[in-house]
Structure formats: C-alpha cells, structure tokens
Amino acid sequence: MYNTVANGLVEAFNKTLFNLLKKIVSKSKRDWQERIGEALWAYRTTHRTPTGVIPYSLVYDVEDVLPLEREIPSLRMEVQEELTIEDNVKLHLQGLKALDEKRLEAQQALERYQARMSKAFDMSLNSLLLDWGSSACCKKTDHYNKAYRK
C-alpha cells in the first residue's frame, strides 16, 4: 500500500543516510555495509532542528555515550559509574515518566518548525505568482486569438 507521507519521510531519510555514507565510505565504495552502523549512529546521535532533540534520547530516554567517552572518561561517565544499581534504576524510572512529556514537546517543536517552513515557502511562492494574461503565464496562440479576439 502506498502512503505518500510515509514514503516521503523514508525518501528523506534515505537521502540523509546516503549522504552520510558518502562521507565515510572509502573511494572503492565496497565497504558501505561495514560502515552503515557508524552512519546510523551518527544520525541517531545528532541534534535535529525540527524536533530540537536527539533521536536517540527520544527512544531510549538516556543521553548517548560516545565511544570516545568510554576511552577517555568524562565527568558524566564517572558520576554514572559511582551510582548504585538502585539509584540508577530510580533515575531511569524518573526519566521514563518524563519521556512522554519530552516526546510531546518534540512533536510540538516539529509542528512549529513545519509551520515556519510552510509559511516561508508560501511567501516565496507569493513573489512568483503572476497575473493572468501576462506573457509568462500563457502563450497566446492562433487558437486564442480566434476565440477571444473577435
């Protein structure tokens, strides 16, 4: 079944993924299947302007931990490692309770962004609209001259 909205979103995501892969795949372009995990990680952990959040945090309700933070401990990682299991569970449950609100805020930010983009597009179209009968709007043919110019 064809769904224009969903297919448009899929096409936009595929374009983004393709551009990410172009940046990280070698010149031979034969190792793309080995690099797709890195490209998806980059996409999921990058701040999105329309929603105002990172997709990873909307799904898992935790901030992403970059692989470099595992190698070189950051303050955030040290604080997390010092928490007991019980404290970590409590913290995670509090985050899960707030997740619905966070997703709602992201949805509202997305709607505001789409409204701004639509308004900007409409304004650019208004400057392009031409009056009916202008030479750019229609070509006056012999048929036109016979029918309307008696």
| Ranges of each domain in the chain | 4-129
Tokens of 76: 């955030």
pTM of the model: 0.53
Each residue's pLDDT tens digit, 55-74: 888 887 777 776 666 677 66
Residue 103's alpha-carbon distances to 40, 60, 88, in angstroms, are 21, 11, 22
Q: CA–CA separation, 45 vs 62, rounded Å?
A: 11
Q: How confident is the model over 114-128, as a mean pLDDT?
A: 80
Residue 15 pLDDT grade (very low, low, confident, very high; cuts 50, 70, 90): very high
